[in-house]
Structure 1
């Protein structure tokens, strides 16, 4: 049984928690790809909104640039070594209201395209914890061409690694994070995480 990996929040500003393992495990409804303890953070403004919501939002896709968090800085939550990056996935439109239903129906097609179509642009960072156990932290859905680190590079907690985007299997700009027991994303087991000794619940706002 893996122990809990202690992380720092990989951002500044105001973010709302979604799909937290504090509320259910597996948090994303599946144990595939080591997602049991995954957590999502959605950037929001001072009113708790990720973007203005209009009548049009209910009926049509919206550009990711409309969202307050698109392009926000993402930092490393740990000291460690970058073991993998991917930076070429397009930041696609966001889907709220009725368009989100149509987008959900295309999930099988994205799965068939492979892991990059799911996690989008991402950084994997290997770190040690709890008596030299090894874990790999995945930070996903990053903005295209925003990643500032490369495999083999040593990073420290707080170092900039990229920007919040809307790549991969994402309905609006946000950061998806989960931890694994190896860099083999397809077959790795999930590692529980907490943030500075706390695991935030769904709907909680983190303001740093």
Structure 2
């Protein structure tokens, strides 16, 4: 039976409990699961119970992604959630998937310890690098923001202030036709540029573009979730990380110097990408795994923003910076480089 819109009918208790769990930090679930496993082992409990604790610590956060909450109910259907969850599980149980998760967990510890829990934000430890948009033409911010409510992945410290960019048409669609082919996507193959001057410190170029865009299935054959990427070191120990690039498209090598606007590759669908897009993040270290994210501000940018996005920016952490310092973006923004008058 469908509950009418606006109905105050309460959900069953078990559904409320599961929904509450879905809102708990993934790291809390991981920590509790591992702590229980260690406790069982320390008191000489059965091996299978300790194994179950460790297993649930790893799988429960993934399974809970299939649960809708009040914040996500309108964003994705239950079927789509289930497909995505199965895709993540298929990858998570592979040896390279397990290794990637352990590297990410260790990276969280390293980044958190580096700042003693006082992670960078728009006020504390704000970045100094002057950034321009890393592409030509108009793109849409599909995911990301500098506040917790709009963050790309708030609980993953390196990706806390990351952005996903794609090209959309007048109807907001990112592809022509049914979107079953990579070539259908407007962003696929578009040039990606260095957002600021610096030195290239890392390049990955040989991972395939996952050939099933729009299906919510993910590449499961690699532990490199970022796919093909370029990392650029700027001044003041800040690094740009541009990910999911097209296989064989990078134009730079480690050690190369680049200027803002130089082409470094093309937009692709490599790594954990559900459709062609650019993943961009500014970080405080060269390593994708152990870095902490920094809130990027873009200069020389024209922004078309709807009123809903404007309301989301009212959070204290997402307040606009001074015009001379650049602009913080939020999901839904349509952005392009400002043309000279």
Q: Answer whether TM exceeds 0.5 for this pair.
A: yes
Q: Is the 2:144–2:150 Cα contact (8 Å) retained in structure 1?
A: no
- The one of 11, 27, 43 equivalent to 2:151 is 27
Give the alignment of 1:90-169 within 5 angstroms: 90-96=208-214, 99-100=215-216, 103=217, 113-114=222-223, 116=224, 118-128=225-235, 133-169=236-272
Q: Deviations over 1:12-43 (max 9, x none)?
A: 11211022224536823344361111011011
Partner of 2:199: 81
Q: Is the 1:44–1:51 Cα contact (8 Å) retained in structure 2?
A: yes
Q: CA RMSD in A?
A: 2.1
Partners of 1:143 and 1:43 in 2: CA distance = 15
Deviation at 1:186, TM superposition (A): 1.2
Partner of 1:199: 328
Structure 1 25/154 Cα, relative in aligned 2: closer, same or farther at 3 Å? farther
Q: Deviations over 1:92-145 (max 9, x none)?
A: 12443xx32xx2xx68x57xx42x2x10000000001xxxx2111100000000
Could you list the runs of 4 or more consecutive aligned residues of structure 1 that deviate by over 4 angstroms after TM superposition?
Answer: none
The structure richer in helix per residue is: 2
Matched pairs, number: 187
Partner of 1:9: 133
Higher mean displacement: 20-29 or 155-164: 20-29
Partners of 1:76 and 1:206 in 2: CA distance = 16
Q: Is the 2:181–2:213 Cα contact (8 Å) retained in structure 1?
A: no
The structure richer in strand per residue is: 1
Partners of 1:6 and 1:25 in 2: CA distance = 25
Larger Rg: 2
SS at match of 2:234: strand
Partners of 2:134 and 2:159 in 1: CA distance = 18
Query: Are 1:181 and 2:284 counterparts?
Result: yes
Partner of 1:49: 173
SS at match of 1:176: strand
Q: What TM-score do the two structures reach when normalised by structure 1?
A: 0.81
Higher mean displacement: 40-49 or 188-197: 40-49
Deviation at 1:68, TM superposition (A): 1.3
Q: Is the 2:246–2:267 Cα contact (8 Å) retained in structure 1?
A: yes
Partners of 1:3 and 1:187 in 2: CA distance = 18
Partners of 2:155 and 2:281 in 1: CA distance = 12
Q: Deviations over 1:43-65 (max 9, x none)?
A: 123554211254xx5xxxx2211
Structure 1, unmatched stretches of 5+, are: none
Structure 1 201/173 Cα, relative in aligned 2: closer, same or farther at 3 Å? same
